[in-house]
């Protein structure tokens, strides 16, 4: 089976990666649903919903500022770098649930952030949006219009950014290989992306240290971390 998949991977023209928190874990960024995940320590309803934000914006901002500093101190790992290297040989797109920007920092050029970015802020009222360049003097920070700024991330109960999601559906529906990395795909609508790829006849490979509810529908599942599995997988695809 592996020989057949290897042959198809080498012939692949368009490869789409769907990535989640697992790929960044080895860069020191905690996952959400793993055994040491953030949601085992914190209540997401108090930190990652619009209601929680309006109830206590300072608390929510303090939590996101701590996470942002951790992310800024992290570096891309060999999994991120391997995906970047693959761009030399294939057409590559990344549909990521991560908000850490590590794919871009590794050098990947075609990244769609489905859940937004922790490096970006936006106003709760006007259309202001910008990258965060320094620490805030006060929390919660205020927009020039006088209203509260918020992290530009997707919270529970919110829709994905329409442009990013529409692009993701197109990418998934037109690829011949999809590699699902470090995500259990328990969150909708991102869990539909492999379905779109399968409808196009794509090979779907899962890279995850744990079995997921999607594993049975994969053509191949690699029970390794992204940092360990992806360099070898990329060598297979590039024919190295």
pLDDT > 90: what percent of the chain? 75
The full set of domains in the chain, from first to last, is 1-28+75-115+160-240 (3.40.50.1220), 30-73+118-153 (3.30.1600.10)
Answer yes or no: is 183 a known binding residue.
Answer: yes
pLDDT in tens, 200-230: 999 999 999 999 988 999 999 999 999 999 9
Nearest 5°: phi and psi at 129?
Answer: -150, 140
Q: Torsion angle of alpha carbons 194, 200, 203, 204, nearest 10°?
A: 0
pLDDT in tens, 137-195: 999 999 999 999 999 999 999 999 999 999 999 999 999 999 999 998 988 899 999 99
Answer yes or no: is 22 a known binding residue.
Answer: no
Q: Which of 19-23, 28-32, 105-109 has the lowest mean pLDDT?
A: 28-32
Bigger pLDDT: 135 or 131? 131
Q: What is the DSSP letter of 161?
A: P
Answer yes or no: is 208 a known binding residue.
Answer: yes
Residue 30 has pLDDT above 90, yes or no: no
Active site residue 115: yes
CA distances from 122 to 117, 148, 151 (A): 10, 9, 6
* pTM assigned to the model: 0.92
Task: Write down the residue that tokens 């953030």 correspond to.
Answer: 38
pLDDT in tens, 39-90: 455 576 788 899 999 999 999 999 999 899 999 999 999 999 999 999 999 9
Answer yes or no: is 175 a known binding residue.
Answer: no
Answer yes or no: is 143 a known binding residue.
Answer: yes
C-beta separation of 2 from 220 below 8 A: yes
Answer yes or no: is 163 a known binding residue.
Answer: no
Residue 4 has pLDDT above 80, yes or no: no
Residue 5 has pLDDT above 50, yes or no: yes
Q: Which of 80, 103, 115, 213 is catalytic?
A: 115
């Amino acid at each position: 089976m592996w020989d057949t998949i290897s042959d198809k991977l080498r012939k692949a023209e368009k490869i789409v990666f769907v990535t989640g928190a697992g790929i960044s874990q080895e860069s020191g960024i905690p996952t959400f649903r793993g055994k040491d995940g953030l949601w085992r320590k914190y209540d997401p309803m108090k930190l990652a919903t619009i209601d929680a934000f309006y109830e206590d914006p300072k608390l929510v901002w303090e939590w996101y500022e701590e996470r942002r500093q951790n992310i800024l101190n992290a570096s891309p790992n060999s999994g991120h770098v391997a995906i970047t290297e693959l761009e030399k040989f294939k057409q590559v797109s990344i549909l990521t649930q991560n908000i850490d920007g590590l794919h871009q920092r590794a050098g990947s050029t075609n990244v769609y952030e489905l859940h937004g970015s922790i490096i970006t802020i936006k106003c709760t009222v006007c259309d202001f949006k910008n990258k965060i360049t320094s620490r805030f003097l006060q929390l919660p920070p205020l927009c020039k219009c006088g209203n509260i700024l918020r992290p530009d991330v997707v919270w529970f109960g919110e829709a994905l950014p329409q442009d990013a999601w529409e692009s993701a559906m197109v990418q998934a529906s037109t690829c011949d290989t999809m590699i699902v990395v470090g995500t259990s795909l328990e969150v909708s609508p991102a869990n539909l992306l492999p379905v779109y790829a399968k409808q196009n006849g794509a090979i779907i490979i899962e890279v995850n240290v744990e079995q997921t509810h999607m594993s049975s529908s994969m053509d191949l599942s690699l029970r390794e971390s992204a940092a360990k599995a992806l360099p070898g997988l990329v060598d297979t695809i590039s024919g190295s």
